[in-house]
Every structure is written in C-alpha cells, then in structure tokens.
Structure 1
Amino acid sequence: MTIKRNVVVVAPVAGVLLGLLDFVWIKYVPWPFGALGNSMAVWATAAFLLTFGSRWSLRAGVTGAVVCLVLAVPSYYLAATVIQDDDLANLYNRNAILWMALGVVAGAVFGAAGVLARTPGRLATVASAMPGAVLFAEAVIQARRIGDPSYDTPGQLAFVAVLVALGVTATLSVARNRVTALLVALPLTAVGYALLSVTGFR
C-alpha cells in the first residue's frame, strides 16, 4: 500500500517538474546543452531513472513512468504559456496529444527497463543498456544532419558529443556489468534508431 501511494504522489509530481524544468532548460540554457530539452531520448531516460531509483513493482513502475511522461507534456506547454505567453490551446492540440501518446509508449518501455535494471537476473544488463542505447540512437540521427546546410555543422557535432557522453555516463551509472552493458547498447542503438525514425524524429 505504501508503494502504491508513493507512485500516486511521486509520478505526477515528477511529470509536472519534468515538463516545467524542461521548458526552462530549453529557454535559458545555451546550445548544445539546451538542445537536450528537445530530446525524446532524454525524456525516455528520465522515465528510466524514475523507476530505477524507486522500489516499485514492474506494474507500478510502468504506470508511474507513463503518468510522468504524459503529464510532462501539458506541464511543458503550460510553462510556455506562463513564461512566454504561448497559446494555452497548445496544452491539448494535435501535437500535444501526439507527444502524450509517445509518452505512453516510452513510459511503458523505459519504465519497465528501469525496474528490470535493478532486479537481479538475465534481463538486468540489457535493461541497463537501454538509456545509453536511446541516447546513442539520437546521436546517430543528429550526426546524419552534419553537412546539411539547414543545420550548423559545429553545433551538430557538439550536440552529438553531448549525447554520446551522456549515453556512456548513463550506462556506467546504472549497470552492474558496465562493459557488457555498453556492448549490448550497440545493437540496441540500431533498434532505437529505427523506432525513432518511425516516429518521424529524424
């Protein structure tokens, strides 16, 4: 019962803070670090860390991660309305609904991974490789933009370096078998790249 109450309180609070702080981060932190606020991989990693750091069951972890990411979307747009007078309709327009739908998927996958990564067993190493893999996958997407005249090449190179460094750091921080987890992250990166591409994030 305590764990269930914990999820009910922690997940919504985490979601509101994620959306609010994400917008503030984007608005005030300079490139390339500021670009992390627009990163799907960073939000997925946040869902992973939420459940990895909590003593929740698999079901509670998935539910909590989904609630966190879904609530983060309107919180983000509400912050934009308050801080820079954006249209309040952004909270529930088509884009917001799409991001919330993606939040359900990412929350389910990475929320489960966060629980499994701290649970002894064969899946722990694979699960602990997932934050790094999704960050590496986004790095690949950004790297493919290098040379495109629509993007600033030095800026893209810097952002790729930040994503890779963050992916390595995340993996080393959560994995018990660090080297193995980094190796497992490589094939998972290909899967993550394919999935991110399907969403149109490329």
Structure 2
Amino acid sequence: MRPAHRPVALTAVLGGFLLGVLDFIWIKYVPYPFGNLGNSSAVWAVAAFFFGFWVRSGWLRAAVGAAVGLVVAVPSYYVAAALIQGDEWAVLWAPPSLLWMFFGVLAGVLFGIGGTWARGRGWQQILGPALPGAVLFAEGGLEIRRIGDPNYGNDPLWDALIRITLGVLAVVLASRTNRQRAFALATALPLALAGLAAFLLGGFR
C-alpha cells in the first residue's frame, strides 16, 4: 500500500531537514575515511531514490517530494553549520547555496522517479535499481581520477572503494531478484560513465 499524500509531504520536509543537519554532523564528527561521505552529492541522490522507492507509485509525488527534500536539506545543512561551529548565516542565501538547491531539484526529480521505477515492471525494474549504483560509481570514478594527486593523499583510493561498495549495496537492496540485480548492475556501468561526464561538465574535478 502506498503512503497517503500527507505523510509523503511531511516525510519530504522533515527528511530533508534531517538529511542536511545529519550530513553536517557526519562531516564534523565521523572520522576518516567514512567521514568523507558527508561531502558526497551521490549520497543525497541515493536518499532521493529511496524516498521514491518508499513512495512506491505516482512518479509526480515521488519527483516533487524528493526535490523538496533535497532543497530543504541545503539550508538545513548551513543552519547546522551556523549553530554548531559559528558559520555565517549569510551563506544560506549565497549563490552557491542557490546553485545546490537547483541541483537538488534536478537530482530529486530524476532519482525520485527512479525509486518508483524500481518497483515497476519491464525496463523500469532494471533501470530504476541501476540509478543509485550508477551515481555512486560515477562519484567513485571522480575519486579514481584523483589517485596519485599529492593534493589528495590516500583519500581518493578509500573514497572510491567505499562508493563502489555502496553502489553495489544500493543495487542489491533496490532489486527484488538476483536476475534483476545482475541486469541492474550491468546497466549501472554505462550509466556511471554518463554520470561521470555529467559531474565533469558540472565542474566537479
């Protein structure tokens, strides 16, 4: 049974608030190498996916709810930063914050809908579970490109391994059968290359 509209709206807002606050706390207090996951935009995309997965059906509800959640998460992150370590409140409405909110809308729509696809039939049940794996693999690809760069030390190797492992785990959890998992993982690889290209075009290095 899919959740009603009111719980979906409430979960989107409260979930987004918690995502932003907990993400900042994670970065600040969780030790290396797992603490670096707090800087992962792919993790936020995966959160949007599993929101859509929870919504079950109704791609519009999933897209809007996931987008709202990611947009709310951005100022929530900076509110936590201001309260916990005294950052400037003006960051909440600075251009980088607005840009992250824009990216949140795009990621929320795509991955929110992808979450509903994972419960669908035919091509949807392959493409849907492939999406969270693909975005984590793509971010892992960014980290692989940094291996050997003295500016990053050993961070890229561990960050890549963690993201690839989480990508496989996300596909496994979002799929219902081993056959579906195998096809979704195979689909995630070319999608990851497209995602890596999108990251690079978006200015991620």
| Counterparts in 2 of 1:74 and 1:184: CA distance versus 1, 3 Å | same
Distance 2:188 2:116 in 1: 17
RMSD: 1.1
Partner secondary structure for residue 129 of structure 1: helix
What does 1:60-71 correspond to in 2, within 5 Å? Answer: 60-71=61-72
Give yes or no for contact 1:133–1:188 (8 Å, CA) kept in 2: yes
Distance 1:48 1:14 in 2: 13
Structure 1, unaligned stretches of length 5 or more? none
Aligned equivalent of 2:172: 172
Give yes or no for contact 1:131–1:171 (8 Å, CA) kept in 2: yes
Aligned equivalent of 2:184: 181
Distance 2:159 2:33 in 1: 5
Identity rate of aligned residues, in percent?
49
Give yes or no for contact 2:23–2:77 (8 Å, CA) kept in 1: yes
Answer with 68-77 or 177-186: which moved more.
Answer: 177-186
What does 1:1-202 correspond to in 2, within 5 Å? Answer: 3-152=4-153, 154-176=154-176, 177-202=180-205
Answer with 171-180 or 84-93: which moved more.
Answer: 171-180
Give yes or no for contact 1:3–1:55 (8 Å, CA) kept in 2: no
Partner secondary structure for residue 120 of structure 2: coil
Answer with 3-12 or 178-187: which moved more.
Answer: 3-12
Number of paired residues?
200
- The list of structure 1 runs, each at least 4 consecutive aligned residues, that deviate by more than 6 angstroms after superposition, is none
Q: How big is each residue's C-alpha offset from its partner over 1:125-174, in whole Å with a ceiling of 9 and x where there is no partner?
A: 1111010000000001011011112111x222111110110001001111
TM-score norm. by structure 1 comes to 0.96
Answer with 45-54 or 114-123: which moved more.
Answer: 114-123
Distance 1:122 1:160 in 2: 28
TM-score norm. by structure 2 comes to 0.95
Structure 2, unaligned stretches of length 5 or more? none
Distance 1:91 1:136 in 2: 30
Give yes or no for contact 1:12–1:67 (8 Å, CA) kept in 2: yes
Q: How big is each residue's C-alpha offset from its partner over 1:158-197, in whole Å with a ceiling of 9 and x where there is no partner?
A: 1111011000100111113111111111111111111111
Letter of the 1:19 counterpart:
G
